[in-house]
Amino acid sequence: MTGRKLGQPRRRRERGSLNPSDIIDGAFELAEQVSVEGLSMPLLGKHLDVGVTSIYWYFRKKDDLLNAMTDRALRQFIYAVPYPSVDAQDWRESLSRHARTMRRAFLSNPILCDLVLIRSALSQHAARLGAEQVERTVANLVQSGLSVDEAFTVYSAVNLHVQGSVVLQRLHDRNQELGSDATAYYDVIHVDAETTPLLAAAMAKGRRTGAPDDQNFEWGLACILDQAKRAIEGNNH
């Protein structure tokens, strides 16, 4: 979701030519420079070379604009290329693919992460589409042998695991972008081979405690799937 390159001048807009799509385009361009959190209507007006009242004509407040941005981001990055569906006959592998694809989608697009996960506010349209996706997934998990409660719990746990991993990584990246002195716990934990030999041995192999990296993500995902497998086996007896 890229627009003009940073510093590239925008052609002056003709009077009356502004429309909602142009405003959303400009909002994404500006968010890439200042982040979603730093986006403001006055800054956007300056970016688009229009008076801020021209923006308020279409979006009465910032939340209205962010909702429109979220809808577009979801359409382009989520709904346009849906996550792999969960197959009742191959539920473990298909749910794993689903989780990994969802995580990659958010990690590869910081603005999408900021709009959907950190801001945590969806329009009614986006929320309805999301609910329909969850409904399909839960139904397939029920077909695989889980009860409705178990299927809902499994998918909720997978979603929480994915979102937690992504948000922790995004917050770490944002601190780096802002030049913050704050350092993630997993980057500063002090390990001494004499006083904490077990930690030292693990971290010598590249392990990081609490880090939202691939290794920790895959371990957590496997634990959720193992629990689901045990539930299915128990239901079949």
Q: Are 31 and 73 in contact (CB under 8 A)?
A: no
pLDDT band at 194, cuts 50/70/90?
confident
- Please, what CATH class does the domain formed by 77-236 belong to? mainly alpha
Q: Give the whole-angstrom CA distance, residue 84 versus residue 210.
A: 27
Best-predicted range by mean pLDDT (55-59, 70-74, 78-82, 190-194): 55-59
pLDDT at 35 over 90: no
Which helix (H) or strand (E) element contains residue 131? helix 124-143
- Quick one: pLDDT at residue 4? 45
pLDDT computed for residue 185 by the predictor: 53
Give 179's pLDDT tier (boundaries 50, 70, 90). low
Residue 143 above 90 pLDDT? yes
Domain boundaries, the chain: 16-60, 77-236
pLDDT in tens, 203-224: 788 777 778 899 999 999 999 9
Question: What's the rounded mean pLDDT across residues 83-101?
Answer: 90
Max Cα–Cα distance, the chain, nearest Å: 72
Q: What is the pLDDT of residues 108-119, one digit of tens each?
A: 888 989 998 888
Report the pLDDT value the prediction gives residue 184, as an integer from 0 to 100. 58
pLDDT at 180 over 80: no
User: CA neighbours within 13 Å on the CB side: how many for 108?
Assistant: 11
CATH fold of 16-60 reads Arc Repressor Mutant, subunit A (1.10.10)
For tokens 């890439």, name the residue: 32
Query: Average pLDDT of 175-204?
Result: 73
Tell me the whole-structure pTM to 2 decimals. Answer: 0.79
- Specify the higher pLDDT residue, 185 or 217: 217
Instruction: Report whether 162 contacts 103 (CB < 8 A).
Output: yes
Question: Above 90 in pLDDT, residue 91?
Answer: yes
Q: How far apart are CA 29 and CA 24, in angstroms?
A: 9
What is the rounded distance in angstroms from the CA atom of residue 16 to the CA atom of residue 19? 8
